[in-house]
Structure 1
Amino acid sequence: MRKKLLYLSLLLLPAALLINLGIMVFIDDEAIRSLVAQEMLWSGNFVSPTMHGDAYLNKPPLWNWILALSFTLHGEVNEWAARLPTVLGLLGFAATTYYFSRKHFPSYLAAIHALTVITCGRMLFWDSMLALIDVTFSWVVYVQIMLLYEHGRNGNWWKAFGWTYALTAVGFMLKGLPAIVFQGLSVFAVLGWTRSWKQFFRPAHIFSGIACLAVLALYYWQYSEYVDLEKVARRLFVESGKRTAVAHGLVESVQHVVAFPFEMSYHFLPWTLLLVYLLQPGSWAKLKKNDFAAFMLVAFLANIPIYWLSPNVYPRYLLMLFPLLFGSLLFLHQSHAANNTRSYRTLRYTFLALMTLCAVVIPFAPLFPGTEVVSYAWLKSILLGAAAGAIVWMAWQSERNLLILFTVFLLLLRIGFNFFVLPPRADQDERGILVRNTAYNVMEGHEKDSVAIFGYTLIEPATGYYLTKARGHVVRRQFEGFDSTTHYLVSPIEYPGLEVIQTDSLYLRHLSRARPDGDVYYPFGTLPSPPRERVEWNKPLRDGMGSGM
């Protein structure tokens, strides 16, 4: 029965991860990655990322290359094509988790460990649906940690450092400096765990690090033909440092330190409920019976302080770390289940109660507001409710299979989420729909006109993406050489005194949320008195204002 349930979980994965994947309007970070990838395809320049023809400095280009490949294979640029690589990266992440865990855990426990990567709340109901770097980057970092451990504990330091510094280069090309930070902390964790501190100064480590830098230098040597690398380096440090305590006040930092463990435990439910095992006396002694389980907790604790001490951190930045914690917690769960401890019984009945409650609600999903847009709603809810009810009944009957039944139930919940939450959410996303529609309306009728963004006008990325998609080619920023025939998109916030003969307007959703006095629209039209000089900006540039390069 257990093997059949594992196969069932695999069969449910495509439905759980793919149904209605492309239905929602892009959030801004998705739009950035997609717009940069689209402009690469149009320009044929895969070395120097751009947004609106202006140098984009915030991130290296590897994720944009991946999206560009997906767009090419799909034959078009859209939300589905942008988000599919995230799903594939997640499946690779889970498969890799199983591969390494199977070396040290029974196959059943390794499979559950792999499924926790997919079914933790933050991943299952948010990050797996977005075209962001973080899932794939987390996969790369997790493999780094695992390879350091596997080869390091066997004394194969050339492999340990060689492979992981190669992956550090990959991670850097995905997200920049965090890849180096994770590698450094994980190296210290492994060297400390294996009591091999001398390896830090040995040729294997030194030459592997140099090789990593050499690989990155090859790319940046090519990149230097397009931009000033000093500005790129400054921007990468700003991107990495703006989340830290240095960029925030003392009070905010202290509040974050106190709230962090509770917030992260919430985001990674339900598997963080297993923390009840770790908080009990003797948990470390139990973990030390399995070197892998103990090391995973050490690796987690070695890397987590960066974010614990950094305000303004998103849970997606920690996606590579919680599988380490989950592995340790599952090992403890196995021990508690074998001894039928009070903690295990409490957790078991908590899981059963949650499953039962949800199974009772699922058949009545069509009664919730907004679900009238769901086709065949009652048929879907009854079938899902029946499946969920069967899983709950089996969970009450088969205690030994509780974890796999719980993961199957979570996948059914995600399918229900795809059916009954995503369509109403997409239908009721008035601001997102307005962003897309006004972008299309602005471009309508201007196919033969010259169109540009005026200077450092702040453009929200989703707005810029849909504007570009409606245009069919790059909508460039223009900093000089203005004329009276080009139609410009102008921010009245950055350029309040600039006169525009307005023919249309463009909606800005985030600026509108921040303005209690009403929605924000940018005028779109020609300039009766275009500036003769290049426009400059002497204040700090905000995200969305371009680089001027």
Structure 2
Amino acid sequence: MRLFQEKEWLFSLLVISLILWLIFLGNSPLRDWDEGTYALVAREIYRTGNWLYPTLQGEPFLLKPPLMQWLIACCYYLGGVQELTTRLPGAVLTALGVPLLYLVGRLAFKQSLPALFAALVYLTMLPVVRHGRLAMLDGMTISFFLLLLFCLLKARQNRKYALGVGFCLGLIILTKGMIVFLLGAIACLFLLADRQFALLKSPYLWVGILLGNTPAIAWYTAQWQRYGNTFLEVHFQAQAFDRLMQPVEGNSGPVWYYLLELLKYGFPWLLFLPGGLYLAWKKRHESWGSLVLLGTIIYLGTISFMRTKLPWYVMPVYPFLALAIGANLSEVWQNRHFRVRSWTIFLAIISLAGLGGCVYFFIKKQPVLIVMSIVLAISMSIAAWLIKQRDRNFIPVLFIGMYLVIGLLVSSQSWIWELKEAFPVKPVADLIRANVSPGTTVYTSFPYNRPSLDFYSDRKVVSASIAVLKELSNNKSYLLLDNTTLQQITLSKYKVLGTADKFTLISPSNK
């Protein structure tokens, strides 16, 4: 009976997570930088068949391993080049992290309830869903790491599962490269803390590591043989070690940068995190307690002291936080230990924020987000009232409410809010594609390059200063100029090819 219930829970978690990650997946344009870049690389693989040595605009792409781009290219073969197929591999693999976290929790807690709560918390964490739906590496890296932890815990009962540890390490390397050292260190320290010393002598573990890492080693060897020290400098130095020691491309922040990220997007679940971490400390000699503490402290501590700061670097800490929160919610459900005052106040504040959002989105005429705000206000109000009544049913209300809120958000075209930071690329890309022949470079006055514009225009669009643009205007080059720059540059002979979203595409008249 218990096995049947476990299969039911696993299937249910899989279905509801796939729904949340896949609905309206292609309803918004690709985002800069990662999405546009990976889509460009995958499209070149799809067109050229060059799977071993990926390229970006014809130049070697040495920044990241190719697993994500390979998967996207496969989707292009099956469903064509579009937003949905670009995001599909990462979204599916990230969604699988929900049932995987349940399996990890089931083995670590040795109970179903805290494992279920942890999986549902992870399912309804906004950053996990949002970044996991994008064509980015973090969500699928987390899922491979959760599969690794499952194999590690399952190997206590059956040593053959240790084979999977090595294959998961290989998948992590082929996805995001050097992060394997950090995640591998966490797994190794957990193995020691969990007193699985005998596993270190198991041939299954070492055979798995050998076989699982062979594809990654082969790929790295092929790149080094072809590109030599250039590959080592770009892939290891610039993409890994430099980010530890100095801010890359100005992406810096204070030590508490990621704590602020957690505070911005972690509610309402952060209300239950202090209690969860306290329980983890009390249970630090148990599997789940040591896993939560090691993962949170080592990973969060490492990225906090890195000089380069980017919001999605914090993603792999969310499964550990979800386990802690799930443990606390399970304790509340079973023993009814409520913090009535603080929880009620915070949920009431979130409810008021939902009402404020309702007014704001009404002014902006965004009906889906109006409904989202209403659902948020109602669900948080009901949960606050239930907490005041010391009714444990506030927990399912929170899960259902947050699931509906995030589902409504991703159903709108506002779930990638970074798209509003710059001009919409599609109209400008259509203008370029209609007037510029393939293989021709376009120079723009926009202050930085946008991979998404390159992807949609299918042309290389390079940012240049006004001085450079003046020189290029005499060299028969295509120019994409904003209105202000167009007035500042004196062009003797040119032809206006069209305008789109305050940009004008021009070429010399003899073009």
TM-score by length of 2: 0.77
Tell me how large the CA RMSD over aligned residues is: 4.3
Paired residue for 1:451? 440
The amino acid across from 1:29 in the alignment is: D
Q: Conserved in 2, the CA contact under 8 Å of 1:16 and 1:414?
A: no
Instruction: Provide the rounded CA distance (Å) in 2 between the counterparts of 1:52 and 1:424.
Output: 25
2:34 counterpart of 1:29: yes
Of 268, 272, 275, 2:273 maps to 275
Is the alpha carbon distance of 1:166 and 1:353 closer, same or farther for their aligned partners in structure 2, counting shifts above 3 Å? same
Paired residue for 1:257? 255
Paired residue for 1:141? 145
Q: Conserved in 1, the CA contact under 8 Å of 2:23 and 2:411?
A: no
Paired residue for 2:479? 505
Q: Conserved in 2, the CA contact under 8 Å of 1:500 and 1:523?
A: no
Instruction: Provide the rounded CA distance (Å) in 2 between the counterparts of 1:492 and 1:139.
Output: 43
2:126 counterpart of 1:121: yes
Paired residue for 1:97? 101
Identity among equivalent pairs (%): 18
Instruction: Provide the rounded CA distance (Å) in 1 between the counterparts of 2:176 and 2:14.
Output: 31
Q: Equivalences for 1:99-498 in 2 at 5 Å?
A: 99-103=103-107, 104=109, 106-124=111-129, 126-151=130-155, 153-154=156-157, 156=159, 159-160=161-162, 162-194=163-195, 196=197, 208-223=208-223, 227-237=226-236, 238-244=238-244, 246-248=245-247, 256-278=254-276, 284-286=281-283, 288=285, 290-336=286-332, 338-341=334-337, 344-346=339-341, 348-350=343-345, 352-354=347-349, 356-357=351-352, 360=355, 367-369=362-364, 371=365, 374=366, 377=367, 381=370, 385=374, 389=378, 393=382, 396-397=385-386, 399-418=391-410, 422=414, 429=420, 431-433=422-424, 435-447=425-437, 451-452=440-441, 459-468=449-458, 491-492=464-465, 497=471
- In the TM superposition, what is the alpha-carbon distance from 1:218 to its structure 2 partner? 2.5
Q: Conserved in 2, the CA contact under 8 Å of 1:26 and 1:79?
A: no
Is the alpha carbon distance of 1:346 and 1:29 closer, same or farther for their aligned partners in structure 2, counting shifts above 3 Å? same
Instruction: Provide the rounded CA distance (Å) in 2 between the counterparts of 1:453 and 1:21.
Output: 27
- In the TM superposition, what is the alpha-carbon distance from 1:283 to its structure 2 partner? 5.8
The amino acid across from 2:259 in the alignment is: P
Instruction: Provide the rounded CA distance (Å) in 2 between the counterparts of 1:283 and 1:185.
Output: 16
Q: Conserved in 2, the CA contact under 8 Å of 1:359 and 1:388?
A: yes
- In the TM superposition, what is the alpha-carbon distance from 1:180 to its structure 2 partner? 3.2
Query: Greater relative contact order (Cα 8 A, min sep 6): structure 1 or 2?
Result: 1
- In the TM superposition, what is the alpha-carbon distance from 1:201 to its structure 2 partner? 7.8
The amino acid across from 2:420 in the alignment is: D
Is the alpha carbon distance of 1:399 and 1:362 closer, same or farther for their aligned partners in structure 2, counting shifts above 3 Å? farther
Q: Conserved in 2, the CA contact under 8 Å of 1:274 and 1:329?
A: yes
Q: Conserved in 1, the CA contact under 8 Å of 2:258 and 2:314?
A: no
Is the alpha carbon distance of 1:382 and 1:96 closer, same or farther for their aligned partners in structure 2, counting shifts above 3 Å? closer
TM-score by length of 1: 0.72
CA offsets, 1:382-411, max 9 Å, x none?
A: 698479747854774582232222121112
Aligned-partner SS, 1:437: helix
Q: Conserved in 1, the CA contact under 8 Å of 2:165 and 2:205?
A: no
The amino acid across from 2:73 in the alignment is: A
Q: Larger deviation: 403-412 or 496-505?
A: 496-505
Aligned-partner SS, 1:88: helix
The amino acid across from 1:442 in the alignment is: I
Is the alpha carbon distance of 1:181 and 1:453 closer, same or farther for their aligned partners in structure 2, counting shifts above 3 Å? farther
CA offsets, 1:130-153, max 9 Å, x none?
A: 2111111121122223323442x4
Instruction: Provide the rounded CA distance (Å) in 1 between the counterparts of 2:261 and 2:371.
Output: 34
Instruction: Provide the rounded CA distance (Å) in 2 between the counterparts of 1:169 and 1:493.
Output: 47
Paired residue for 2:5? none
Q: Conserved in 1, the CA contact under 8 Å of 2:35 and 2:134?
A: yes
Q: Conserved in 2, the CA contact under 8 Å of 1:502 and 1:526?
A: yes
Q: Conserved in 1, the CA contact under 8 Å of 2:442 and 2:479?
A: no
Q: Conserved in 1, the CA contact under 8 Å of 2:22 and 2:92?
A: no
Task: Please list every run of 5 or more consecutive structure 1 residues that lacks an aligned counterpart in the other structure.
Answer: 476-487, 512-518, 529-549
Instruction: Provide the rounded CA distance (Å) in 1 between the counterparts of 2:17 and 2:158.
Output: 40
Task: Please list every run of 5 or more consecutive structure 2 residues that lacks an aligned counterpart in the other structure.
Answer: 1-7, 486-500
CA offsets, 1:321-364, max 9 Å, x none?
A: 2212321232134335544445x334542464256436656765
The amino acid across from 2:479 in the alignment is: S
Aligned-partner SS, 1:409: helix
Paired residue for 1:71? 76
Is the alpha carbon distance of 1:522 and 1:341 closer, same or farther for their aligned partners in structure 2, counting shifts above 3 Å? same
- In the TM superposition, what is the alpha-carbon distance from 1:176 to its structure 2 partner? 1.1
Q: Conserved in 2, the CA contact under 8 Å of 1:272 and 1:326?
A: no
Aligned-partner SS, 2:435: coil
Instruction: Provide the rounded CA distance (Å) in 2 between the counterparts of 1:34 and 1:42.
Output: 12
Number of aligned residues: 474
